[in-house]
Amino acid sequence: MKCTKSKRLSYTEKAQKIVASLTLEEKVSLMGGNVSFESMMEDLMDDPDNKHYNFVPYDAGGVEKYKVPPMLFCDGPRGVVCGNGKTTCFPVSMLRGATFDIDLEERIGHAVGKEVRGFKGNLFAGVCINLPYNPGWGRSQEVYGEESFHLGEMGAALTRGVQEEDVIACVKHYAFNQMEISRFKVSVDCNKRTEREVFLPHFKKCIDNGAASVMSSYNLYKGVHCGHHDYLLNQVLKDEWGFDGFIMSDFGWGVRDTVEAANGGQNMEMCCTEFFGEKLAEAVKDGLVPESKIDDAALRIIRTLIAFDEAYDRICDESVLGCKEHIALALEAARKGITLIKNNNNLLPLNKEAAGRIVVLGRLGEKEVTGDHGSSQVHPAYVVTPIKGLANVSPKSEVVYYNGEDLGHAKELAESADAVIFVVGYDHDDEGEYVATELDKSYTGCIGGDRQYSLGLHQDEIELIRIIGPVNKNSVVVMIGGNMIMMEEWKDSVSAIMMAYYAGMEGGTAIAEIIFGDVNPSGKLPYVVPFKESDLPQVNWDTETQWYDYYHGYAKLEKEGIAPSVPYGFGLSYTAFAVENTEFKASEDAVIASCEVTNIGDRSGDEVIQMYVGFKNSAVDRPVKLLRGFRRVSLEKGETRKVEISCPAEELCWFNPKNGRMELEHMEYEVYIGTSSANKDLHQGSVAL
Amino acid sequence: MVAAESYLFEAIENRVKYPAKVFLASIDHSGFHWHYEYELILVLKGKVLVNFDQKPVILEAGDILLVNSRAVHEIYRIEEADNICLFIQINQNLFNDFRDANQTYRFYLNSKLDTLKPKRGFEHFVHMAAQIGLAAIDKNETTPYRIKGMLYLFIADLYQYAAYDIYQRASEAAEHENMEILMNIIEYIQIQYRDKNVLKNLYKEVGMSEKSVYRLLKVNIGYSAKDLVLARKLDMAKYMLKYTDKPISFIVDECGFSSANSFYRTFKMILNITPNDYRKYGIVLKDNQEIKGYLGFSKTEGILLLENIVQGR
């Protein structure tokens, strides 16, 4: 990486010189977006299809006479939000999380970085790593899964990839932002251990991996707006973690008060300047904000921008946008992330030659669904729907689609079919960025929000699957959605189930390739599926206060001795893998587990080997076990490979509230290696540290 | 060889500026046929039987039925009473205007069925059809605009309120181009059927091999080029038998049959009647432009019936 932290710090002196020569007004001008709310609204009214949110990079700051470029903001994460019909629409982060493929996420980072430059931007605000405390969070699709360690690894990979293209990666939303409809008003609270062990480690990991920008969240933490939060911004992020880059606020409602925000450590008000700008200069003159705060913000902004600007020594023009290579990468991600959950009697893959009539039922079968319609909506040239994918991948099949509304007709079709595929789940109205409940007040043009009422499918979809599923024994459910979808009411009505998430512009292709066996599925669920919603931590979605417990997700279920319906890290393949000859050892500062994996089935495939560490011997309350390493391996039929996974000891620390430090317990740790978080899929050993 | 219940196809010509043919007719017998156009039948008077989807339905005054693109069907009068029907034949491309070109839509709009009723009821579609029918009668410079707009409304409501299946084809199929070639093939045969070398010339004309043409036709309409030539020859022969006094030997030659023997044999086999008997007793065809057997009827009465529907009388 050319623009590492140390490289950036080498620009400190140059940046300081520029800061010293700027007037207060000039310095303050760096600290706010140059976009006006009125012009944004005008664009939206004028031509909502083309002049959509972020159709061009949004700029902030910039000082021409010192060659300080403006910050040029491009949103994400499922690609670059700018333009229309040009960009690549990748699968959402949740699907990419299901790939457990660090290398792939880094390559996506490169592609996205190039496209940001192709749109003449210089910052990508798509490293979204909030932890879905409850999977009903409407924007969980923008993050990688429920597990802090995994979120951090994937976020760090995207950060590296983007920044290697000399584009600033912006990590968001810092912090505790995992409730959508209450995001402007909710104050989150939790104890210190929860904060440090569950909700902050993934942010720290991205900073440790060089992220040069952070976006503060809308919500409050312990009663203080995160965009004003002295503790989170100044004390933790800048001082403790040594963050050298700049912070920006979330858009529009991220800064609420000039003085509190500036003193709290906010560096840049986005994307319109309302509380900063002149008001901030006034506050400095009135002695309410020390000028040193302004100098620090200006230094951070200038240093980061000139470092990246100088590193960017080539030209990415529009030819990189949605290019063949990037679309191939979007397809690769979809192929690797889509997760096969059930496959009774090896129904899948369907035989292309034998599968004559494929009946597709469910509203989403013919829809171009790529995720929410909020700030993460990207605008690709095309989207392959599930039915298009099926027809393209198996041109000899007769692909017949019906939305499924009339059960009698659906039954007739199902009876006539060689296989039935239900495409069910969510779109942008069910979950996603939320602005208002009334459509005309919403710039997203959809409802979105959290899944407040149910984590299951729509009632009519449940009924469709329950009644029509048993009609044809070759029935498959394809679920579309951004996070865990409950399956208990209908899972026994069909032979096969796969989770397709929001699989991007080539999603329909990948779904079909897996159904017809051109691609061997290899995704793993980055969340646990419980038998009951009440097994998960409960939240009040429309609230001003919310407490977060220490336990959530698979760690909560396991701690409470509740069996999951589908374990975290689970996913089926068309081949089979054997894990043998496991070894567990500790070095001075790491835990190492290794095994030999053999593909014992009859076709090539990928497996994700996972390492968990257990804390049964802990003197304090800790999870039974946590994911602390993973590696994706590709194996030819019959091939064996040794896989070694190492986890630094610091990843095993707990936060000692007595001394306020992350501490390593010196004890015997259980170490597990295998193919999911379920004990039956794991081999267990132990190591002492 | 052509099967005994030889299916004919109807090349619906849309010379008017809007992509539909709207007309009132009284039906005697159409024989089995198919076309690319979606065909909406609204019965205004009397009864007709439509053989459609292998399920014959009897439509009475006020009934509406949409025959899907490329669906083989036949229509005939039942009972002696007169019938008047409104036909709206809509170009299939209109349905794909804002959707994937590789999709075909099969709608369920049949007021004689108890299942799959449209969400706004059949009356809504009956009303719209009658409005289109009336708008088409008054031909002036605004008519094409009005009709096209109304057709779009009609299609939008079909998508929104009627049940339908989508048949999705692979993108590579380049369906659109194929459709054009298909139309060219059919048109060529319609005109050149008399020529002994019609098929050889056809392959040259469309620049495709015999095999490719065969495959294209089989996949799309289920009949070979040879079948189509023969069907066309028989149509022509039927017309000449009924409406001219030409001797059969002349007709044999004129319609491109190789010999009188083969003409008699083929005619009897396919139509189950000899050419002579056909001349004497065969069903009435009004002209050779249409495959449908239309009867004379009072257009004024048809218009009145349409007005009754539109005005809710």
User: Residue ranges per domain, chain B?
Assistant: 8-170+291-310, 174-281
The whole-angstrom distance between B133's CA and the closest CA on chain A is 30
B168 → closest Cβ in A399, A405, A409: A399
Nearest to B166 among A366, A395, A408 (CB): A366
Which helix (H) or strand (E) segment holds residue B199: the answer is: helix B198-206
- Report chain B residues whose CB lies below 8 A from the CB of A400: 165-168
Task: Tokens 């001003």: give the residue.
Answer: A544
DSSP state of A197: I
Q: Which of the residue ranges A422-431, A664-673, B241-250 would you say has the lowest mean pLDDT?
A: B241-250
Per-residue pLDDT of chain B (313 residues; tens, 9 = 90+): 222 233 344 545 444 566 788 989 888 777 667 788 899 999 999 999 888 766 789 999 999 999 998 887 778 787 667 889 999 999 888 998 889 889 999 999 999 988 899 999 999 999 999 999 999 887 788 888 899 999 999 999 999 999 999 999 988 655 556 767 877 887 788 788 888 899 999 999 888 888 888 878 776 666 788 888 887 888 788 778 877 888 888 999 888 888 999 999 988 887 777 888 878 765 543 433 444 556 667 888 999 999 999 998 7
Residue A395 near chain B (CB below 8 Å): yes
- Give the pLDDT score at A574: 98
Q: Tokens standing for A607?
A: 């497996």
- Which residues does residue A58 pair with via DSSP β-bridges, in sequence order? A73
The topology under which CATH files domain B174-281 is Arc Repressor Mutant, subunit A (1.10.10)
Right CATH for B8-170+291-310 from 1.10.3720.10, 3.90.1570.10, 2.60.120.280, 3.30.70.260: 2.60.120.280
Is A218 within 8 Å of chain B by CB? Answer: no
Question: Taking CB atoms and an 8 Å cutoff, what residues of chain A touch B166?
Answer: 366, 387, 400-402
Chain B contact present for A400, CB below 8 A: yes
Whether the bond between A271 and the residue before it is cis, its omega within 30 degrees of 0, is yes
CB B199 within 8 A of CB B226: yes
SS (H, E, C) B72-114: CEEEEECCCCCCEEEEEEECCHHHHCCCCCCEEEEEECECCCC
Considering only CA atoms, which of A420, A610, A583, A389 is closest in space to residue A496?
Answer: A420
- What is the phi/psi pair of residue B54, to 5°? 60, 10
Query: Does A421 contact B at CB distance below 8 Å?
Result: no
Mutation target for A interface from B116, B168, B175, B220: give the one with most A CBs within 10 A: B168
A682: pLDDT confidence band, cut at 50, 70 and 90? Answer: very high
Q: How far is A246 from chain B (nearest CA, A)?
A: 46
Instruction: Copy the structure tokens of residue A411.
Output: 């039954």
Who has greater pLDDT, A204 or B13?
A: A204
List beta partners, residue A641.
A597
Measured CA to CA, the distance from residue B249 to residue B269 in angstroms comes to 19
**Interface list for chain B against chain A, based on CB atoms closer than 8 Å:** 100, 102, 108, 115-116, 163-173
C-alpha span between B218 and B228 (Å, rounded): 11
A455 - beta bridge partners? none
- Calculate the alpha carbon distances from B11 to A349, B91, B214 in Å: 43, 11, 19
Task: Measure the CA–CA gap between B151 and B149, rounded to whole angstroms.
Answer: 5
Given an 8 Å threshold on Cβ–Cβ distance, is A401 in contact with B165? Answer: yes
Q: Which of A367, A392, A518 to mutate to test the interface with B (most CBs of B within 10 A)?
A: A392
Q: Which of B298, B297, B292, B302 is CA-nearest to residue B133? A: B302
**What whole-number distance in Å separates Cα of residue A387 and Cα of residue B159?**
17
- Nearest one of A495, A511, A475 to A337, comparing CA atoms: A511
Nearest CB partner across the interface for A402, out of B100, B115, B165:
B165
The reported pLDDT for the residue numbered B230 is 85
β-partners of residue A71 are: A60
Cβ pair A169, A158 in contact under 8 A: yes
Phi, psi of B65 (to 5 degrees): -145, 135
**B169 closest CB neighbour out of A391, A402, A413:** A391
Cβ contact (<8 Å) for B165 and A413?
yes
Higher-scoring residue by pLDDT: A549, B29: A549
CATH number listed for the domain at residues A5-320: 3.20.20.300
Q: For residue B281, with 0-12 CB atoms within 10 Å meaning exposed, 13-18 middle and 19 or more buried, which class applies?
A: exposed
Give the pLDDT score at B280: 78
Q: Does A390 touch chain B (CB under 8 A)?
A: yes
Q: How far is CA A116 from CA A72, A206, A232, A315, A321, in A?
A: 9, 20, 29, 12, 9
Q: What is the DSSP letter of B39?
A: E
Q: Please state the domain extents for chain A.
A: 5-320, 336-547, 575-688
Cβ contact (<8 Å) for B102 and A391?
yes
Beta bridge partners of A359: A400, A420
Q: Any residues with CB less than 8 A from the CB of A290 and at least 6 apart, and which?
A: A263, A284
Å from A421 to nearest chain B CA?
A: 14
pLDDT of residue A457: 97
Q: What is the Cα–Cα distance from A211 to A242, expressed in whole angstroms?
A: 11
Nearest 5°: CA angle at A482, between A479 and A484? 70
Name the CATH topology of A336-547.
Rossmann fold (3.40.50)
Per the DSSP assignment, residues forming a β-bridge with A181 are none
Terminal alpha carbon distance of chain B: 52
pLDDT category at A314 given cuts 50, 70, 90 is confident
A641: left (phi over 0), alpha (psi -120 to 50) or beta: beta
Q: Which residues contact A165 (CB under 8 A, 6 or more apart)?
A: A109, A110, A113, A114, A116, A117, A316
Instruction: Answer yes or no: is pLDDT of A452 > 50.
Output: yes
Shortest distance between the Cα of A372 and any Cα of chain B, in A, equals 22
Which of A366, A412, A413 to mutate: most B Cβ within 10 Å?
A366
CA distance B120 to chain A (A): 15
Span A602-609, mean pLDDT?
Answer: 98
Phi/psi of residue A196, nearest 5 degrees: -80, -30
- Please give the interface size between A and B, counted as residue pairs whose CB atoms are below 8 Å apart: 48
Both tokens of B49, joined, read 């039987």
Tokens linked to A118? 């192709």
Distance, CA of A455 to CA of A458 (rounded, Å): 9
pLDDT, tens digit, for every residue of A287-305?
999 999 999 999 999 999 9
Looking only at the bridges linking them, the beta strands covering A398-402 and A357-361 are: parallel
| Pick from A289, A291, A299: nearest CA to A264 | A289
**CA nearest to B219 within chain A:** A396
- CA-wise closest residue to A122 among A77, A63, A60, A171: A60
**DSSP E strand stretches across chain B:** 8-9, 20-29, 33-34, 38-45, 47-52, 55-60, 64-67, 73-77, 84-90, 103-108, 163-168, 293-295
Nearest C-alpha in B relative to A394: B170
Q: What's the pLDDT tens digit per position in A631-665? A: 999 999 999 999 999 999 999 999 999 999 999 99
Q: Sign of the CA dihedral A680, A682, A683, A685?
A: negative
CB of A391 within 8 Å of a chain B CB? The answer is yes
pLDDT at A22 over 90: yes
Rg (CA), chain A: 25
Determine how β-strand A246-248 pairs with β-strand A213-216.
Answer: parallel
β partners of residue B20: B90
Digit-coded pLDDT (tens) for A49-82: 889 999 999 999 999 999 999 999 999 999 999 9
Report d(CA B89, CA A292) in Å as an integer. Answer: 78
Please give the model's pTM, rounded to 2 decimal places: 0.88
Alpha-carbon Rg of chain B, whole angstroms? 20
Q: How many CA atoms lie within 13 A of B63 on its CB side?
A: 19
Q: Please compute the mean of the pLDDT values over residues A155-184 and round it to a whole number.
A: 97
Which residues, listed in sequence order, are joined to residue B90 by a DSSP beta bridge? B20, B38
SS3 of residue B58 by DSSP: strand
Are A134 and A539 in contact by the 8 Å Cβ rule? The answer is: yes
Q: Kindly identify which residue of chain B lies nearest to residue A401, measuring between CA atoms.
A: B166
Give the C-alpha separation, A614 to A73, whole Å: 42
Residue A352 in contact with residue A391, Cβ under 8 Å? no
Task: Please report residues of B whose CB lies closer than 8 A to that of A406.
Answer: 115-116, 163
A383 in B contact zone (CB under 8 Å):
no
> To which residue do tokens 């095994």 refer?
A595
Q: Check if the beta carbon of residue A176 is closer than 8 Å to that of residue A123.
A: no
The answer, for A544 touching chain B at a CB cutoff of 8 Å, is no
CATH class of this structure's domain A575-688 = mainly beta
- Does any CB of chain B come closer than 8 Å to the CB of residue A413? yes
